Amino acid sequence: MANSIRFKVDSHQFFSGVEDINFSLSEGACTFYLPRKWNQKSIDGLLALYKTGMLYIAPIQITLDKEGHSDSEGAFFSGIWPELKSNIPKDIRKIHKEMLRKRNI
């Protein structure tokens, strides 16, 4: 697959708030960020991969009842993302993948 991105986790980091997330800018480093609170407002995890001057970000939300679940993707991009984005150096290109969801388990 040309131009495919694979998130192979090298390390994990727990966070209580957005201020605890410090993206690694080590080439090829993939970090899995996990919230300390099980009911974090909009995401269940966050994958970040730095590769060739770009930071790839994949927020993860596990949803068992899609119809009854709130719009976590909207909450992430309107709530957490603006603050996270400010932690990334301006010269780094940011590419965020669409929200990854597990459905119909």
Map tokens 């001057």 to a residue. Answer: 53
**Terminal CA-CA length for the chain:** 28
Closest CA to 17 of 44, 30, 35, 32: 35
Check: pTM over 0.85? Answer yes or no.
no
More confidently predicted of 72 and 85: 85
100-102 and 11-15: which strand pairing?
A: unpaired
Tens digit of pLDDT for each residue in 26-52?
899 999 999 888 766 678 888 999 988
Rounded distance between C-alpha atoms, residue 75 and residue 81, angstroms: 9
Looking at residue 96, its pLDDT comes to: 64
Sign of the CA dihedral with 87 first, then 45, 61, and 48 last: positive
